[in-house]
A and B are shown apart, each in its own frame.
Chain A
Amino acid sequence: DQQVKQNSPSLSVQEGRISILNCDYTNSMFDYFLWYKKYPAEGPTFLISISSIKDKNEDGRFTVFLNKSAKHLSLHIVPSQPGDSAVYFCAASGSGNTPLVFGKGTRLSVIA
């Protein structure tokens, strides 16, 4: 029973265009959401997060949108760069002392 779902295993985008990575969740107790980025042979690194009290959080080229009623979040990268090519994991957590639950990841390829 996957609580965090990333239904697109891969995405290919032209350099300079927008990349949109989607994530759905089923647990209504989740109130904190994060995106991690993973390069081959490296551990995931934190990218951006959003609390359930917000519907948008922006950090440079990266913006995360949260739609609580739809239990959906998305990560927008604009403009996309070749160095953004990586696997992106969506993660979610309930309040406080709970481990993060991760999705299966989406492999983004940004083509020059």
Chain B
Amino acid sequence: GAGVSQSPSNKVTEKGKDVELRCDPISGHTALYWYRQSLGQGLEFLIYFQGNSAPDKSGLPSDRFSAERTGGSVSTLTIQRTQQEDSAVYLCASSLAPGGLPGTGELFFGEGSRLTVL
């Protein structure tokens, strides 16, 4: 597709269950990011993939969160044993180059996956 695609768009789950969120970035974009936006909060950085380099996991809030990027393209964010505080919109973004490089590093975001943990 032309843009970043995320699925599911909405997910309601029970506390303690595992969830997987998928991101299909723009073709050819080497950098992929996961952010989340909780109610009333800004965009919180979670994890960043750049090419074949080891991912920057510094934003993951706990070891219940993990992500992988297969074949340098599709990424899956997994949250194990979900808690109510995990409820948020999870946003995936991709860019041509590492974020921050003028003119090439602007991020293209998907529409997000809204997660509600009951």
A interface residues with partner B (beta carbon < 8 Å): 4, 6, 32, 34, 36, 41-46, 49, 51, 89, 91, 93-105
Contact = CB atoms under 8 A, between A and B. Distances in A.
Contacts of A32: 100-102, 105
Contacts of B101: 32, 96
Nearest to A90: B42
A44 B91 contact: yes
Contact of A102 (B42, B105, B111): B42
- Greatest chain A CB density within 10 A among B4, B100, B107 is at B100
Contacts of B33: 99-100
Interface stretch (B43-51, B61-69, B73-81): B43-51
A89 B42 contact: yes
Nearest to B35: A102
Interface residues of B, number: 29
Q: Is the interface of B mostly helix, strand, loop or mixed?
A: loop
Contacts of B106: 34, 46, 49
Contacts of A91: 43
A104 B41 contact: yes
Contact of B43 (A44, A49, A51, A94): A44
Contacts of A100: 33, 45, 99-100, 107
B42 A98 contact: no
Contacts of B50: 97
B110 A98 contact: no
